[in-house]
Amino acid sequence: MRYFLAVAMMLGVLLLGVVGFRDTTTRRTPIEVFPDMDRQPKLRPQAEDAFFADNRGSRRPVEGTMARMTPMTMGASGSSELVYGYEDLPVNTGHLTGVTNYVENIPLTVSGELLERGMGRYQINCQPCHGALGDGNGITRKLGMVVVANLHDPRIIKMPDGELFHVITSGRNLMSNYAAQVSVKDRWSIIAYIRALQRSRLASIDDVPEQLRSTLTK
């Protein structure tokens, strides 16, 4: 009995040494205890798949094509005017139809809803470099990114909205493009928010309603 217990204990300790405990980090691939259909021969996004020559489960769009997919609503949510991504319209390209001139104003209906969306998207995508205030003092300034545009620069204030759209879509100078990150509608919403940021610095006391002026300290 004594030997049996000793052997059992030793086996137990040995086993514990091999398998370890819960809540410890490990490099080992997780074991799937009951692997019934856990992994199925179907495509999963961004996963490897031996079916294709380049091993990529996610396929790239065919060169020179664009997704038709769902149309975009021009106005606020619930609007019935629809636009498809392949149409040569200012809202898709930032240019006036048929020419290379930039469209002057945002082709979508600018609403509070769009501005709010723009604020959120700006904070996600633009703030790291351009800063929360749009003055080009984002976190990357301290990390070695020296040339970041100040969005309050008169050069940018005077830019047509279509040109800003073009910059977000295709990039400019050291800023690379955000076409893949930010959807067409979100790009316009960001532009609307940038315009709001710019106006906040261009405002004069006359823009403040008279009854509220006394609340501002000069």
- CB-based burial of residue 83 (10 Å sphere; 0-12 exposed, 13-18 middle, 19+ buried)? middle
Residue 48 beta carbon to another protein: minimum distance, rounded to whole angstroms: 8
Contact characters 155-174, another protein, x per CB under 8 A = -------------------x
User: Binding residue for another protein (CB under 8 A) from 8, 10, 13, 14?
Assistant: 8
User: Is 22 one of the binding residues for another protein (CB under 8 A)?
Assistant: yes
- With contacts defined by CB under 8 A, name the span among 42-50, 84-92, 158-166, 208-216 that binds another protein: 42-50
Output the six-digit token pair for 8.
């059992």
Residue 38 touches another protein, criterion: CB under 8 A = yes
The nearer residue to another protein, 42 or 68, going by C-beta atoms, is 42
All residues at 6 or more sequence positions from 69 whose CB lies less than 8 Å from its CB, including other chains: 85
Q: Is 62 in the site for another protein (CB under 8 A)?
A: no
37 contacts another protein (rule: CB under 8 A): yes
**Distance spanning both ends of the chain, measured CA to CA:** 92
Identity of the residue, 148 or 194, whose beta carbon is nearer to another protein in the bound complex: 148
User: Is 45 one of the binding residues for another protein (CB under 8 A)?
Assistant: yes
What DSSP assignment string belongs to 33-85? SS-TTSS-SS--TT-B-TTSTT-BSSPPPPTT-----S-EESSSTT---EE-T
| 85 is a site residue for another protein (CB under 8 A) | no
Number of residues that bind another protein (CB under 8 A): 46
The number of angstroms, rounded, from the C-alpha of 180 to the middle of its chain's C-alpha atoms is 8
Q: What is the binding site for another protein (CB under 8 A)?
A: 1, 4, 8, 12, 19, 21-33, 37-40, 42, 44-47, 56, 120, 123-125, 128-129, 139-140, 143-146, 174-176, 178, 180-181
